[in-house]
Chain A
Amino acid sequence: MPMHRFFDPMMFVPEVTYTLIVVVLCLIIYLKTREIYDLTKHRGIYYFRNTFLFFGLAYVFRFFFYLFHLTQMALQLDIPRRVIGPASLVLTGYLSTMAILYLVYSSLWKRLGDKKFLILSNLAAAIISVIALMTKSPYIITIAQAVLLAAALITGYFLYKKSKKFYELLVLYLLLSIFWITSLLNLGQRVFMPFELRLGMQLISIVVFIIIYLKVAKWAK
């Protein structure tokens, strides 16, 4: 028999804290890079800073989806479920897919060109969101994003075979995406990992965001 999530109110505090810290870090990164982008209109900077706008928003809507489950299963509050739950799921899927694609593309755009990227990325994000809406499950988003990430990594490997710096970035971006994907897994009905492990992953995820923030802060003063 599958083990179902038990919504311990004690889990709520780490979840709120985690979401708040990540969203604030994403917002700071987005705002700190505004002047640099404004002065240069550089495509790479555009993709990079929008990654964090999308990630920040995705974490907000992920939290709404979490709240939706929490109120449904623990508090029995009367909220318009037919709207809030699916809408949060669709927006989480769309924004996070865009964030992952923009993140990878911020480094690959020079080699691949960016004429059709906007159309293709929006299309991929929209398809994933619609499938997630139809299945009413975040799992489809995790699978689709894992596939996209794998494809992006393979492309990056072949395009930047000789760049040591790119590999360092790739590790950072990979961790960022993996932590996002595992955070989505924890939104479903089944319990995929114990509370302690989940908390540990959230802490490491925050460390990754802080490392990126510090790298940004070094240059975007």
Chain B
Amino acid sequence: MKKKRDRLGVIFDILKIVRDNHNSIKPTPLLRYSNLSSQSFSEYYRELRSKGFVKEMADKKGKRFITLTDRGFRFLEKYRLILGFIDEFEL
């Protein structure tokens, strides 16, 4: 059975989806790929924006898309180390 993702795992997955889509994805496909309920996704998305991991942009036609900030890239870069640290000290 697949282990349930924890909070950090979900954040990592969402950010990775954005990065893997050339750092530009619309909210609806992001919700679909993230495998979350729309309510959970909204909560995580709000958290990601408030923490400055992602930002919302609009193109010339006014369509919204999501991109990673430097902080979001930094989180992805550090994720393995963060998990290792948490595991090392049973935090």
List A residues at the B interface (Cβ < 8 Å).
33, 35-36, 39-42, 44-45, 47-48, 106-107, 160, 163, 165-166, 169, 215-216, 218-221
Contact = CB atoms under 8 A, between A and B. Distances in A.
Interface residues of B, number: 16
B85 A220 contact: yes
B71 interface: yes
A18 B87 CA distance: 30
Given A47-B91, A165-B90, 13 more contacts: A36-B78, A36-B85, A40-B82, A44-B90, A107-B89, A107-B91, A160-B90, A163-B90, A169-B89, A215-B88, A218-B88, A219-B81, A220-B85
B71 A39 contact: yes
B35 to A, nearest CB: 21
B46 interface: no
Majority DSSP secondary structure for residues of B touching A:
helix
Contact of B90 (A35, A40, A169, A219): A169
A106 B89 contact: yes
A87 B87 CA distance: 38
Interface in B59-91: 71, 74-75, 78, 81-82, 84-91
A48 B82 contact: no
A166 B90 contact: yes
A157 B91 CA distance: 16
Contact of B86 (A41, A42, A166): A42
A82 to B, nearest CB: 41
Nearest to A110: B91
B89 A42 contact: no
Given A39-B71, A39-B74, A39-B75, A44 B82 contact: no
Contact of B78 (A35, A41, A47): A35
Contacts of B81: 36, 219-221
A219 B89 CA distance: 11
B8 interface: yes
A218 B82 CA distance: 11
Contacts of B78: 35-36, 39
B91 A44 contact: yes
10 contacts: A42-B8, A44-B91, A45-B85, A48-B91, A106-B89, A107-B89, A169-B90, A218-B84, A219-B88, A220-B85
Given A36-B81, A218-B84, A44 B89 contact: yes
Given A36-B78, A36-B81, A39-B71, A44 B88 contact: no
